Chain A
Amino acid sequence: MSIECLLLGAGQEVGKSCVVATIGGKRIMFDCGMHMGYHDHRHYPDFARALALWGAPDFTTAISCVVITHFHLDHIGALPYFTEVCGYDGPIYMTYPTKALAPFMLEDYRKVTMDRRGEEEQYSYEDILRCMKKVIPLDLKQTVHVDKDLVIRAYYAGHVLGAAMIYAKVGDAAMVYTGDYNMTPDRHLGAAQIDHLKLDLLITESTYAKTIRDSRHAREREFLKAVHKCVSGGGKVLIPTFALGRAQELCMLLDDYWERMSLKVPIYFSAGLTIQANMYYKMLIGWTSQKIKDSHAVHNPFDFKHVCHFERSFINNPGPCVLFATPGMISGGFSLEAFKKWAPSEKNLITLPGYCVAGTVGHKLMSGKPTRINLDKDTHIDVRCQIHQLAFSPHTDSKGIMDLIEFLSPKHVILVHGEKPQMAFLKERIESELGMPCYYPGNNESVSIPTTKNLKMSATERFITSCAAEQGKRRGHKGNLVCGASVSEVIGSSEDMDVAEGILLMNKQKAPKILCDDELAEVLGMERHLVQFEPMVSRIEAAVQSELQRAKAADSGSEGNE
């Protein structure tokens, strides 16, 4: 048995996350995102090609379920296209907050793209609504039986409100797809949290495969210092953010600081979306950090005291202000509008998010210090304002990725959602330091992971008794506690102490059974295998060593080897 893993997106790149894992005949699609940097066919994952590969008549039969980890467009953007245009009609799972917030994100993006380019609309607002109707909401740690064999479960991932890591299991084969996650808590979200699971495969994001970030406290201090300096100099601060997540965290930080320093400079939210999002945050307190959960009864931290009502015309007002505008990478929309207005003045400050997709204005600002940005053929913007690179990021850093991998200790690791050189570096580290095979396939490539299969078998009483006796003895030996084992015993102080000897009897009709050496005489022609012995007495789950020569066993009943 194996896990077949096909990357439809986010292979050696960031954007359009979409991984299809086939476990024991069940196909699960993790995330269904779009790529924000492209506007051609690369915009969406190549679903048609995958369908041809699988040789299935349609998507509904080919795929058992779709699981969406969180509401960012590069994880959910292609979902309405997939369901409404491609015609997938199977179950779709996502957490409650994701289900609540996703329509806003999708609709916002649809409108923005329509405004800007008049680009051919891939799906309509009605499509979004129809698509969301098919969604089955998930709760954290809720075990969902998708069908008889397939089980999925969501774990808290930090990152954004409602982000989840997905555990999927078919038979004995189990895997986790992390989606995006954060191992350190921030002002409003907790850290990722998962149980110790026995995994064959871990698919993890690797946005910061090489970076190790310093402490959050220092980051906050620097951000506040920059903003305070700017507004006290009479400048305007533009903070382009995603509507959900970063905006709330930064705003909590600023609101708190404004309170402490008793500042009077207004803080604005540009879009109604953000304000609506704040409302959702207030409702979804259960998904936020411990601190907020503890204190929201007294004061809801999403009731910002210093945030003022905003009109579009305020953009031309004199005097200092702080403006949160979408989208985060200044790829269009209101943040671009404000950027055009404010960039030419030295007094102003633009903060940039931690990560910008290539091709966006944000990316251009990040790479080097441009004085002039060409939007298109006839539009140029002079950039004289200060630029503050936000080190805030909802993604975990390389230390966090390593920590998670080490904690889960899966048998194999696949890296997605990162840039190729950094992924190669991280792969090296994982293989050398943790000793796990690691892969980072590109888009439309697939990886096959072997899985273990556990076989239940019974054992004779004598076998168990002798094993338990050996075990007790060995334990004692280790600590030099029991001294002087009688020399006649065969079991010495060799390295592989946990191996017990026995004979595995396999028969097509009967359940497999383990016997002692000398019991072999009772039954003729038994096959001998080396078995792994789960310590203690009550249950033996032996792992059959590598090649079970089933065929031969079927022919002649059995055959002795070793």
Chain B
Amino acid sequence: MADPDVLSSAYPAAASSSVRKHPAPLDDSLAASSDGGPSFAKRPKAATEPPTPGGSAASPEVDVLALVSLTAGIYPLARAEALRGLSEVVERADASCSVGSGIVECSYECAVELMRDEDEGVRLAVVRLVGACAQKFSARVDADANGYGDLMDIIFLQLSFMARDMCTQVRIEAFSALGKMQQVSEGVLLQSLSKKVIKTDTMCGSIINGQKLPPKLKIPCAAGVFSHGIEDEFYQVRTVACQSLGALAKFSKQYAEKALDLLMDMMNDDTRAVRLQTLQALFQMATYGCLSVQEKHMHMFLGLLVDTSALIRDAARKILGLVTLPKLQMFKSAVDGLVTSLEKNPEEQDLYGILFSIGKNHGSFSANIAKHLAKEITMASDGELILDKPRVKALLIVSISAPFSNDKHKKLDIPSAIFSHAISLLGKVSCALGDVNQDLLLSYLCHKSGMPFWENRSISAEFGESESCSVQTMEIGAHIENTAKATKCVDEAIVMQSMKAILETVEGAWTMRMSCNICEVRTILRTCKEELNVLAESSSGSIGAFLSFLCEYLDATQLIIEIWQLIQLDNSYTFGLTSVEILLEKLDISIRRMECCFVGLNRELEVQVLELSLIAHLFRLSNIGVCKVVLGKLLQVINRLEGLSADGSYELSGLSGEIKKAFDDNLTGVNLISNIHTLFELFRLKPTTDFGMLKAIRAVLQVSDNDSENPSSYVSGLPVGVSFNIFLWNISSHHKLWIRMTIGESVQFTFLDFSCFGCNDDMKSGSMVAPLYATPMVCSFVLRVCLVMECPYGGNSTHWGGHGGPSDCVVQLSDELDVYFVSTWQS
């Protein structure tokens, strides 16, 4: 029941009340602070403005003040919005200065007051705000650890209380905030695992990490928040709970042990996402070295190794590769488990890497395995032992990993027979080790097995124990990630290499154009294009964009060659639509696509495109004779090229130089046409491989619920709406997109307003309903739909002028779709 005049009368009052205070003498807290000066200086300015939320960015105190007073309002949406505003301010606040910490404290107090708000949205915002405040608090805790240690505990308990909320969203948010907490005392952490309230008086004496425990658990609800979390009805909550459970493990050993028990139970969860997250949490614990696997857990791990899901298997293996197992028996069962997994899924070769690292982590255990294996090998000397058996392969890898282990104090002698057998597994070993020079590895293995090797260098010094011995657990985690990155790099390098090879072929083919059979050139170009297409499909990012650019480029090249052939055959002027005309149009489209559909063309690429368009214009001149319009365009291109070379770092190519000269001499197009042979000779095909940050503009258009079996219905003669799902890549707001709808000859353009589309990095997506105004008076028809983009510059062919469609020439962005319609009104 908002009373407008009450509101209006109240606001100035609130403002004036804050105004009144500004010029007043400094409070103790600010007077004591060193940087009271600047904030004080801001005051008068703030005082002249009403405290509108988000208005005066210069003085966050005023914002905070206004927001805090709004959080006490009676409308839940307003309260929630105010809290969100506060979180924004807090996130930007610099907690180290006194003003910043004042803001954080004030916001935190405000949030705590609303913790039990009736509205879910408000509680959600409270959790976010408390989480943000906690992060700010922990950032400055080092200043006086004792004072804030308790505060962090209290925040942890408050968040725990929120994690028992009835609203799923609040729970999710609370658990994720809990996972980000720091400097929480061990007692509080342990309490979060146990529903039973741990008697605090027994722990009062123990001061852990110099922090005192909170005197009493004031919120009984906060106990055992994680045991509630992992039992939650919603898998989203369980997932976050598992994640936070693992994330906190690095702070306390005792906590980690108990958390492991809880996490182990989660392996039986009925949702795979939760199981995966659990494994992820365990992996994180293992990377921080706080995962101590015990015998009772082994059963679960071994079960996971033969899980039906490849993802789970993979995650379980990764963890095994990091943990330290206390007993030989457990080590053996782990290796056996891995072997079984390998036998069941022989295609999963990364297992060898895991075997190697698990062997390396347990030097003496793997030495033990090596001894047994050596015995087995010698016993079965008559060829019974088949190296192909996955078991033997696996054990060999484990055995040769032993010398790399950290157990320096023990002398681990691995029988040389092991090494000689391992030579046959060279590829797998080098794979397991990551990127290691195979020659080096081979020489190492030969050296160890006592075989003569062609290169008798002192191998051990260069490669071997010394190199990888000091690898810490943390580094292994990093190494695994690095390897993943490396493989991506390798992929890119391979693509670049094959791309270069293709381009060389293309250049070779270009030089052949004069002498050889045109057909052969065409075939070469076509094959190159196919190869590029294959590469383009498997790559993404800039390289993918560049590959599709190159495909377009080759298209244009092929067209040029074909047109050239036609021109050579028949150099007489022809009128009407000839095949040359069609090819020229195609060339134009191709060039236009290169110009418009890529963002971030660098200069080389742009020059390439411009030269192609020079050639295209020349051809057009030679085809239709002297024409002002074409000449004008030619001049535009030349000017652009000149502009690009203006800074002197690049010289005009022979072709463009020649044409420029022709223009400078102020000649008409006639001599250009007559000179076309010489000019064409001058044209060099020089595809560059430097693509910079190229991005491809793409679009996908979908029509929901429509195919030939399931047509949409319409009433003939009346407009009908067609609903589209649209996905746009790398489109920015200055691009003008249209939906082109064609029925037979008639075309309708609908402007696409994508400002309200959901945006996600480079991709925008959304759905819209486009009306088709003039449906034909037939009982069924097929509408052809595609997305087109207006070219920002270039052509002045106004094909669609009268229809209110795009004014300039357009580029088709998406594939053409067929939409099927059936009339509902049938007589």
Chain A interfacial positions (CB closer than 8 Å to B): 184-185, 190-191, 193-198, 212-218, 220-221, 256, 289-291, 397, 399, 402-403, 406-407, 409, 429, 433-434, 461, 464-466, 468-473, 475-476, 478-486, 534-539
CB–CB B106/A478 < 8 A: yes
Which residue of B26, B107, B166 has the most chain A CB atoms within 10 A of its CB atom? B166
CA separation between A406 and B220, bound complex, in Å? 9
Which residue of B106, B266, B271 has the most chain A CB atoms within 10 A of its CB atom? B106
CB–CB A539/B102 < 8 A: no
20 contacts between A and B (CB under 8 A): A185-B231, A190-B233, A196-B166, A215-B230, A291-B235, A291-B270, A464-B10, A469-B17, A476-B68, A478-B106, A481-B64, A481-B65, A482-B21, A482-B61, A482-B65, A483-B27, A484-B25, A486-B20, A538-B6, A538-B7
CB–CB B74/A480 < 8 A: no
**B565 at interface (Cβ–Cβ under 8 A)?**
no
**Residue total for B at the interface (Cβ-Cβ under 8 A):** 67
**B773 at interface (Cβ–Cβ under 8 A)?**
no
Min distance, Cβ A29 to any Cβ of chain B, angstroms: 27
Given contacts A469-B13, A469-B17, contact A535 B73 (CB under 8 A): yes
CB–CB B230/A483 < 8 A: no
CB–CB A217/B10 < 8 A: no
CA separation between A218 and B72, bound complex, in Å? 45
Q: Which residues of A have CB within 8 Å of B102?
A: 479-481
Min distance, Cβ A409 to any Cβ of chain B, angstroms: 6
CA separation between A465 and B15, bound complex, in Å? 11
Q: Which residues of B have CB within 8 Å of A482?
A: 18, 21-22, 27, 61, 65
Min distance, Cβ A454 to any Cβ of chain B, angstroms: 14
CB–CB A483/B221 < 8 A: no
CA separation between A466 and B25, bound complex, in Å? 23
Min distance, Cβ A56 to any Cβ of chain B, angstroms: 37
Q: Which residues of A have CB within 8 Å of B27?
A: 480, 482-484
Q: List B199-231 residues whose CB lies under 8 Å from chain A.
A: 219-221, 223-224, 227-228, 230-231
Which residue of A220, A461, A538 has the most chain B CB atoms within 10 A of its CB atom? A538
9 closest A-B pairs (Cβ-Cβ)?
A479-B106, A483-B27, A484-B24, A217-B265, A185-B233, A535-B72, A537-B10, A536-B73, A469-B17
CB–CB B2/A476 < 8 A: no
Interface string of B156-200 (1 = CB under 8 A from A): 000001001110000000000000000000000000000110000
Q: Which residues of A have CB within 8 Å of B219?
A: 406
Q: Which residues of B have CB within 8 Å of A406?
A: 161, 219-221
Q: Which residues of B have CB within 8 Å of A466?
A: 13
Q: Which residues of B have CB within 8 Å of A470?
A: 17
Closest to B74 in A: A536
CB–CB B265/A538 < 8 A: no
Min distance, Cβ A192 to any Cβ of chain B, angstroms: 8
**B3 at interface (Cβ–Cβ under 8 A)?**
yes
Q: Which residues of B have CB within 8 Å of A486?
A: 20-21, 24
CB–CB B166/A194 < 8 A: yes
Min distance, Cβ B761 to any Cβ of chain A, angstroms: 29
CA separation between A10 and B73, bound complex, in Å? 43
CB–CB A471/B7 < 8 A: no
Interface string of B1-39 (1 = CB under 8 A from A): 111011101100110111011101111011000000000
**B109 at interface (Cβ–Cβ under 8 A)?**
yes
Q: Which residues of B have CB within 8 Å of A464?
A: 6, 9-10
Given A397-B195, A479-B64, A484-B24: 18 more A-B contacts, CB < 8 Å: A184-B231, A197-B118, A212-B196, A217-B230, A218-B265, A407-B164, A434-B220, A461-B6, A468-B10, A468-B14, A471-B14, A473-B17, A480-B29, A481-B61, A482-B22, A537-B6, A537-B10, A538-B6
Given contacts A190-B233, A476-B65, contact A461 B24 (CB under 8 A): no
Which residue of A434, A466, A483 has the most chain B CB atoms within 10 A of its CB atom? A483
Min distance, Cβ A218 to any Cβ of chain B, angstroms: 7
CB–CB B74/A539 < 8 A: yes
Q: Which residues of B have CB within 8 Å of A193?
A: 166
**B105 at interface (Cβ–Cβ under 8 A)?**
yes
CB–CB A534/B65 < 8 A: no
Q: Which residues of A have CB within 8 Å of B230?
A: 215, 217
CA separation between A535 and B73, bound complex, in Å? 6
Closest to B66 in A: A472
Q: List B81-113 residues whose CB lies under 8 Å from chain A.
A: 102-103, 105-107, 109-110
Closest to B27 in A: A483
CB–CB B103/A478 < 8 A: no
CB–CB A536/B231 < 8 A: no
CA separation between A537 and B589, bound complex, in Å? 65
Closest to A478 in B: B109
**B234 at interface (Cβ–Cβ under 8 A)?**
yes
Q: Which residues of B have CB within 8 Å of A465?
A: 9-10, 13
CA separation between A461 and B73, bound complex, in Å? 18
Closest to B16 in A: A469
CA separation between A195 and B120, bound complex, in Å? 9
**B116 at interface (Cβ–Cβ under 8 A)?**
yes
| Of B13, B17, B233, the contact of A290 (CB 8 Å cutoff) | B233
Closest to B31 in A: A483
Closest to B267 in A: A217
| Of A191, A409, A479, the contact of B68 (CB 8 Å cutoff) | A479
CB–CB B14/A472 < 8 A: yes
Q: Which residues of A have CB within 8 Å of B6?
A: 461, 464, 537-538
Given contacts A193-B166, A468-B10, A469-B14, contact A475 B68 (CB under 8 A): yes
**B232 at interface (Cβ–Cβ under 8 A)?**
yes
CA separation between A471 and B110, bound complex, in Å? 14
Q: Which residues of B have CB within 8 Å of A461?
A: 5-6, 9
CA separation between A516 and B789, bound complex, in Å? 67
Min distance, Cβ B330 to any Cβ of chain A, angstroms: 21
CB–CB B231/A471 < 8 A: no
CA separation between A538 and B73, bound complex, in Å? 9
CA separation between A452 and B18, bound complex, in Å? 36
**B268 at interface (Cβ–Cβ under 8 A)?**
yes
CB–CB A481/B74 < 8 A: no
